[in-house]
Amino acid sequence: MEGVKCQEDQNLPRDTYRIAYAIHFLLGAGNLLPWNALITAVDYFGYFYPAKHVEKVFSIAYMSSSVLVLVLMLSWGCWSRKLSFRLRMNMGFFMLVLSLMVAPMLDWSWCRSLSMRKSSGAYALTVASVVICGLADGLVGGSLIGSAGKLPKQYMQAVFAGTASSGVLVSILRIITKASLPQTPQGLRTSAHLYFIVSTMILLCCTLSCNLLYKLPVMRHHQRLIGDDRLSPRPKFWEVARKIRWPAVGVFMIYVVTLSIFPGFLAENLKSKLLRDWYPILLITVYNISDLVGKSLTAIYVLKSIGKATFACVARLLFYPLFAACLHGPKWLKTEAPVVVLTFMLGVTNGYLTSVIMILTPKSVPVLEAETAAIVMTVFLGMGLVGGSVLSWFWII
């Protein structure tokens, strides 16, 4: 076996400039870029819909539709496998571009007036665009993670580092566009339009990269080694889920905790007299940077034990009393510094543990089950997102 592996390593084409890694990183970024763009523009949507709990509604609409697509991909496995990876990715990115342009297009259609503000019709269309974004995320994310699960572990690490980088990118972009224009209603709208347009251009670059990926010699080599499994029977969901039940529980717990705190609690429940409407943007940026740090750490060191990683996921429940203390505790805990530190820790643990579990789990099952295992993990991740989004409402009660 070692001789065969050495032979395969010798025949492996060189990934010049690590282009395959970079494309997986970019596709991971593109997958979550629209969602991060929507939640980072909390000041923009808060201006138009001040009476709505925008962050919490967006989270439930997005996460629920994303999980729905993942479940359908598993239920209709034969149908979804007849669609090539490239076709599924192109369809998904088209939907992501569409969803991201709805908000500025609605604003332009109501231009020269403030009639869009508090409009129930515009709000319903905005939420519908978030649902479309979630559907596209399920399609792109499920396809991308499923594909990366069959490849060497560095590609899965690239995908999840990319998802984290998108949050940092849109946070920086939002800060630049917001700071560069007057702090007036018109300045807010113009900065948001510029922000959405630049984000859309990045998505178009992702679409182009997706179509180039499997033309690379190194990716063709991996594809030959894996073989065409579209005609082979897909392993059953619950059989694979039973084998990976503990990491599935772990990734579920990660996102229940994270989404019940981020973005809704950070953006809506915590206030700062000093930073005012910059405070939620600052906290979201801190979270996104720390999430990227956590996911990048797996390029240096990956925890070897799935059991230890799962225990660490459950231990994140400690964030609940800590953040509750920032809301209801002593005055010094309600200041900006403790909240920023806790937000940083929330992001680092989210990023590192997600990346570790998603790297280790597909490698713990036979190769033919690796793609299904990756999609199963994505389903449980999505279920955690939905559960966390629902729990985030309890901060209001």
- The model's pTM: 0.81
Q: How far is CA 111 from CA 37, 103, 189, 275, 363, in A?
A: 22, 12, 10, 29, 53
pLDDT band at 5 (very low <50, low <70, confident <90, very high): very low
Q: Are 389 and 59 in contact (CB under 8 A)?
A: yes
132: pLDDT strictly greater than 80: yes
- Output the pLDDT for position 153: 87
To 5 degrees, how large is the angle CA 208–CA 211–CA 217? 120
Q: Are 281 and 43 in contact (CB under 8 A)?
A: yes
Residue with the larger pLDDT of the pair 309 and 48: 309
- Output the pLDDT for position 8: 46
Structure tokens at 75: 């239920």
- Average pLDDT of 21-28? 94
- Average pLDDT of 41-66? 83
131: pLDDT strictly greater than 50: yes
CA distance 211 to 270: 43
329-372 pLDDT, tens per residue? Answer: 788 887 888 889 999 999 999 999 999 999 999 989 888 888 88
Give me the domains of the chain, ranges plus CATH numbers.
17-227+236-395 (1.20.1250.20)
257-287 pLDDT, tens per residue? Answer: 998 888 766 666 667 777 777 788 888 889 9
- Output the pLDDT for position 174: 79
